[in-house]
């Protein structure tokens, strides 16, 4: 609509002005987008050029290092770095051992004594190594008083060489090879000798606590022994279990390996110190042979035989899972098993676990450690969860967990009494609560 003088109406100018502003806005938006794209492309090209230059310089350095005397220089640098890393690892291992000892009941004065002992022992070790002399091993005849292990509160400190010789089990003791094959070598005696060596000399070493033990056991199966060792410095007990797992139980399943390591570690720590807290003890069926007697109105009395307590036997027998197998080995006096039989035993042992491997544990971000799940703990503590996958091993050993759980003592006492030529009523027993 036009005005009287022919000029356009104000509303016309308003409409045209609005359209012009919209066009200008769209144009400026496109310009900004194009500018942003150009900047992004320039940054991408710059990063690509920088990466290419980095690759070229790296290739040039490697080429120079591999040419002529560069190889020797590179090897020397790598060797120096390796020595530095090993030194740091040993220092961290010693610090972890001192911290673990302090966390398990040692006071500040004890920690300072540990550090002073470590400094003295390290100086002595450096002197011995510099003179290229052989390290004198500690005597195996030293007697050990209860609660004198480095992982428990004690008024007596661990010997000074407990830290210095903590790193290498094979350098401290001349242990036989635990790698199990198919030879006729007596693997039973070899493993028994290794266990006796650790048990007889445990007062000279420090041992990790329960949280570290659980994390080490789980991490070794989930991520490998190298990962477990880098996270938790190994004491001599874990070094032995590593050799045993890699040499024998590598034939077992992952869940079975984890359960075996858990039970054997608990049994080893119990033998080292019988005054362990309940959470550190092995399952009840690892105790001397339990037999259920007549129930009363309030409780079910339990009795145990004197076989493992009073009859002399090799220490390896105490590590067998089934109580009737331990009794059988003690009565029969069997102390020999070739590598082929040991390998078959490791391959056939099974654990009834209906879940996956990762369900055996939980991870705690607050501590950075693994812990066993309640379900896995319950399965490991139940004797009925253990079984043999093939009938070949039960033909050599009387594995019959069902008899143990029936509640009938005569099921397992009667054959033993027949071998002893004594009446069943005279079978030696004593109350568990006495």
Say how far apart CA 195 and CA 190 lie, in whole Å: 9
Q: In this predicted model, which residue has the larger pLDDT, 394 or 229?
A: 229
pLDDT at 138: 34
pLDDT at 297: 35
Residues in the chain: 434
pLDDT at 67: 67
What's the distance, CA 92 to chain centroid?
A: 18
User: Residue 160 — very low, low, confident or very high, per pLDDT cuts 50/70/90?
Assistant: very low
pLDDT at 26: 78
* Section 11-33 average pLDDT: 69
Q: In this predicted model, which residue has the larger pLDDT, 237 or 144?
A: 237
User: Residue 71 — very low, low, confident or very high, per pLDDT cuts 50/70/90?
Assistant: low
Per domain, the residue ranges of the chain are 8-53, 78-133+142-431
List, for residues 90-110, the tens digit of each pLDDT value.
Answer: 777 778 777 766 665 544 444
List, for residues 110-127, the tens digit of each pLDDT value.
Answer: 444 544 444 444 444 443
Instruction: Say which range, 1-15, 105-119, 206-220, 251-265, has the weakest mean pLDDT.
Output: 105-119
pLDDT at 400: 53
Highest mean pLDDT, choosing among 132-141, 234-243, 299-308:
234-243
Q: In this predicted model, which residue has the larger pLDDT, 19 or 41?
A: 41
Q: In this predicted model, which residue has the larger pLDDT, 5 or 214?
A: 214
pLDDT at 135: 31
User: Residue 204 — very low, low, confident or very high, per pLDDT cuts 50/70/90?
Assistant: confident
- Are 342 and 180 a contacting pair, CB within 8 Å? yes
């Amino acid at each position: 609509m036009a005005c009287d003088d022919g000029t356009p109406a104000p509303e016309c100018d308003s409409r045209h002005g609005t359209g012009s502003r919209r066009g200008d806005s769209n144009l400026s938006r496109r310009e900004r987008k194009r500018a942003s794209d150009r900047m992004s492309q320039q940054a991408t090209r710059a990063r690509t050029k920088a990466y290419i230059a980095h690759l070229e310089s790296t290739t040039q350095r490697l080429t120079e290092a591999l040419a002529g005397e560069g190889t020797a220089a590179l090897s020397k640098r790598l060797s120096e770095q390796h020595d530095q890393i090993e030194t740091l690892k040993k220092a961290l291992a010693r610090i972890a051992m001192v911290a673990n000892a302090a966390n398990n009941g040692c006071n500040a004065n004890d920690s300072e004594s540990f550090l002073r002992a470590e400094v003295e022992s390290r100086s002595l070790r450096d002197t011995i190594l510099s003179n290229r002399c052989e390290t004198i091993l500690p005597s195996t005849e030293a007697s050990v008083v209860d609660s004198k292990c480095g992982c428990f509160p004690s008024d007596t400190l661990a010997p000074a060489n407990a830290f210095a010789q903590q790193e290498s089990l094979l350098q401290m003791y001349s242990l036989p090879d635990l790698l199990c094959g198919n030879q006729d070598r007596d693997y039973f005696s070899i493993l028994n000798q290794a266990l006796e060596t650790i048990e007889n000399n445990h007062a000279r070493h420090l041992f990790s606590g329960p949280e570290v033990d659980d994390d080490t056991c789980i991490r070794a199966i989930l991520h490998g022994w190298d990962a477990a060792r880098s996270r938790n410095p190994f004491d001599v007990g874990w070094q032995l279990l590593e050799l045993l797992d890699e040499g024998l139980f590598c034939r077992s399943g992952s869940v079975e390996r984890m359960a075996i390591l858990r039970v054997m570690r608990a049994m080893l720590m119990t033998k080292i110190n019988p005054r362990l807290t309940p959470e550190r003890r092995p399952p009840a069926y690892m105790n001397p042979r339990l037999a259920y007697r007549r129930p009363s109105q309030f409780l079910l009395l339990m009795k145990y035989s004197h076989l493992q307590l009073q009859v002399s036997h090799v220490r390896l027998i105490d590590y067998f899972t089934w109580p009737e197998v331990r009794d059988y080995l003690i009565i029969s006096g069997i102390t020999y098993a070739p590598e082929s039989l040991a390998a078959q035993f490791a391959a056939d042992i099974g654990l009834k676990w209906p879940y996956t491997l990762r369900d055996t544990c939980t991870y705690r971000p607050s501590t950075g450690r693994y812990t066993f799940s309640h379900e896995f703990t319950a399965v490991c503590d139940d004797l009925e969860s253990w079984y043999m996958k093939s009938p070949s091993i039960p033909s050599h050993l009387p594995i019959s967990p069902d008899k143990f759980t029936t509640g009938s003592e005569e099921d397992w006492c009667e054959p033993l009494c027949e071998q002893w030529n004594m009446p069943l009523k005279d079978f030696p027993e004593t109350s568990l609560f006495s």
